[in-house]
Structure 1
Amino acid sequence: MSRREIASLGENETIDEVYLVSSKQLRPNRQGNLYLQMQISDKSGQVNGMMWNANDHVYRKFEDGDYVRVQGTSQFYNGAMQIIVTSLDRVDPKDVDESHFVQLGGAEIDRLRGELAGMLRAMKNPHLRNLAECFLIDEEFMQRFCRAPAGVKNHHAYHGGLLEHVVNLMKVTQAIVPFYPQVDADLLLIGAFTHDLGKIDELSYDKGLSYSDEGQLIGHLVMGVSLIDQKAAEAEKLGGEAIPQELVLRVKHMVVSHHGKLEFGSPKVPMTLEALALNYLDTLDAHVISYGQLMKEDVNTDSPWTIYHSSIGRKLYKGEPSS
């Protein structure tokens, strides 16, 4: 019997399948009765799960990031798919085919890591090359960087997602700089590499995807600046000379301004050409991926349009279904 992937679920289908469960919360309703809310996912997507008349015993049957056999019924609610869960049982990971839950396999991670190192080591600026090298030779850092997601929901929200996002963004920067000779190619490339580095500590991804305490209290932009300061000091020892402070300042400015606007979480708006370019290119990559995921997971399977998404203020046109 074929596996029932999240993305293929229709309305009022009977569910009996193993999924990854995270973000569990035991909540009271208006009458004071407890219900369990959770995120249910596989590599095809994720949906909200609701279990009515739950209790503390059910809540403690599994932890965030566990594989769980979910029984219940799918339904549309406010234009989105969800699963009304009737039964939950934790499944031993040894009995699970992890390929159903992994977006990027080991070979793909290794390929992306090789591309990342190749682009960084090809930079002409020796100071920026030494700075990048201090990250690349730090195996503990690289292991975490290659495993981290780029987010918990909106884009590249899976193990290896940060690496994939960064490598793709670096390739995009290399593609556009020939048309803008006034932009420093190496500086923009190192900005693409460093802009989200703080996410290795901002996010928690050992079991499920969530925010760490440090991530919620400080955030990846500030955390990224701290990482750059640390590696800049190491790079001066590696290169045997001081890195120009203006150069380090420009790199840190790209990190703190890459969200583009103060209301989007940037403590500073872009004030250099490289920071401006990084903001637009990062937004492009993130939005193309996240909007594409909304189209892929859309419940309006018979319509060329997605449902209206309040988070982006629009519906999306998917095109006429192929015959």
Structure 2
Amino acid sequence: MKDLFVGDLGKFENQVVTGFFAVAAKQVRSKKDGAVYFAMTLCDSTGQIECRMWEVADAQPFESGDVVKARGQISRYQDRLQLTLDKIRRANPEEYDLGDFVPKTSRDIEELWAELNGYVSTLTNAHLQALLRAFIDDPEIASALKSAPAAKSMHHAWVGGLLEHVVSLLGISDLAARHYPEINRDLLLTGVVLHDIGKLHELRWGTSFDYTLEGQLIGHISIGISMVEKKLANLQDFPDNLRVLVEHIILSHHGKYEFGSPKLPMIPEALLLHYLDDLDAKMQTMRSEFARAGALGRAPGQMTEWVRALERPLLNTAGYLGELAPTTEATAAEELEPREEINALPAED
């Protein structure tokens, strides 16, 4: 049974540790003198850590996706924890439980699936509902959607993350559709369910998350359009004007050409989906960073480390306001005891 997790490593700074980890990524690089070294990302269900192994001549063979037993020293580089390894080997299957290495949603998958189906059942446009049912009633797609991550390493990058993201986005899109009368709610919610459907083929997941060859060469937007076209081929009476709008939402949901969007959003539903999608991703990134900061021992009222995805450090306002709460006679005695962390949140493109 695994007894050392990535989330615990902040407690062992400048110490040598040994544990079992999954190899999320492995690169063989060259030093200035021509000798090679390994640049890796090791992970488990609590997070991931960047690693370097400078002397690799005696290292046993291992690849990305393997579970390994590794020994190294915890240090800090550019204000981020790093593990410098001196020993690594592929772990034997009997030495680990795969469940320790796969980050997964804290939500119940079947509850999320029921919420998704509940939203689909509220659509009043029979054609759009039939299109969505063609996807979620497909056993192969349903199985993949219940387990797929939403990204390789950014927001909702865990098993069940894509479904969790879609259901979250359905909730805020439902609210937004009530606020903006120009929004066709059925069209917006259809776009929510289908905008990332191509990620079922763009990504692969197991002990680590990575891109498939199809994902690297084509990408989830184009894959998603192809999936929709295949389903529409069996819906003979589907209106062509609806097809154009649904496909436009998928093609434009990244919002800008430089973000990989083939088209800019040109209808209200596409524009709203783009911003709500971006908002949901950024808020989840914040939650994950606050959780990671707590795992590294930072107080709730302190700034996090630099967050590359958002290009800034972050502050958990709940923790900060809690630390600044005025001390009254009623709470003075409580201040003598260690304070519990406020707003503890579940762990983390």
TM-score of the superposed pair, with normalisation by structure 2: 0.84
Query: Partner of 2:18: helix, strand, or coil?
Result: strand
Shift of the 87–291 alpha-carbon distance from structure 1 to 2, 3 Å rule, reads same
Q: Deviations over 1:219-263 (max 9, x none)?
A: 111111111111112233xxxxx1111111111111111111111
Distance 1:211 1:172, change over 3 A: same
Check whether the contact 1:150–1:156 (CA below 8 A) recurs between aligned residues. Answer: yes
Sort the Cα spacing of 1:14 and 1:263 in 2 relative to 1 into closer, same or farther, 3 A: same
Stretches of structure 2 lacking an aligned partner (at least 5 in a row): 324-338, 340-349
CA distance in 2, matches of 1:200, 1:288: 23
Structure 1 residues 294, 206: CA separation in 2 closer, same or farther (over 3 Å shift)? same
Q: Does 1:317 align with 2:315?
A: yes
Q: Tell me if the contact between 2:60 and 2:89 (Cα under 8 Å) persists in the aligned partners.
A: no
Counterpart-to-counterpart distance in 2, 1:156 and 1:290: 8
Q: How does 1:93-108 map to 2 (within 5 A)?
A: 93-104=93-104, 108=108
CA 63–13 in structure 1, closer or farther in 2 if over 3 Å, else same:
same
The aligned counterpart of 1:239 is none
Report the TM-score, using the length of structure 1 for normalisation. Answer: 0.90
Q: List per-residue Cα deviations over 1:90-138 (Å, max 9, x = no partner).
A: 2234442344334437982222222212221331110001101111221
Q: Partner of 1:284 in structure 2?
A: 279
Residue matched to 1:208: 208
CA distance in structure 1 between the partners assigned to 2:67 and 2:108 by the alignment: 23
Distance 1:272 1:179 in 2: 16
- SS of 2:290's equivalent in the other structure is helix
Say whether 1:306 aligns with 2:304.
yes
State the alpha-carbon separation in 1 of the partners of residues 162 and 105 from structure 2.
14
C-alpha separation in 2, matches of 1:281 and 1:107 = 21
Paired residues for 1:119-198 under 5 Å: 119-198=119-198
Matched residue, 2:79: 79
The percentage of counterpart residues that share the same residue type is: 36
- Does residue 60 of structure 2 align to residue 63 of structure 1? no
Q: Partner of 1:274 in structure 2?
A: 269
Contact 2:2/2:19, CA 8 A, preserved across alignment: no
User: By how many angstroms is 1:147 displaced?
Assistant: 2.0
**What secondary structure does 1:234 align onto?**
coil
Pick closer, same or farther for the CA change 1:94–1:140 going to 2, 3 Å: farther
Aligned partner letter, 1:194: L
Structure number, greater radius of gyration: 2
Q: Is 1:252 aligned to residue 247 of structure 2?
A: yes
Q: Provide the aligned length of Structure 1 versus Structure 2.
A: 316
Give yes or no for the alignment of 1:19 onto 2:21: yes
Mark the CA change 1:2 to 1:64 in structure 2 (over 3 Å): closer, same or farther. closer
Q: Secondary structure at the match of 2:155?
A: coil
More displaced stretch, 95-104 vs 262-271 = 95-104
Gaps of 5+ in 1: 237-241
Deviation sequence 1:245-289 (CA, Å, 0-9, x none): 111111111111111111111111111110011011100110011
- The 8 Å contact of residues 121 and 133 in structure 1, kept in 2 or not, is answered as no
Q: Could you list the per-position Cα deviations for residues 54-108 of structure 1 after superposition, in whole angstroms to 9, with x for gaps in the alignment?
A: 14x6362x23222222211111112211111122232234442344334437982
Provide the C-alpha distance between the structure 2 equivalents of 1:3 and 1:284, rounded to a whole number of angstroms.
Answer: 36
Distance in structure 2 (CA, Å) of the matches to 1:191 and 1:107: 23
Any conservation in 2 of the 1:6–1:42 contact (CA below 8 Å)? yes
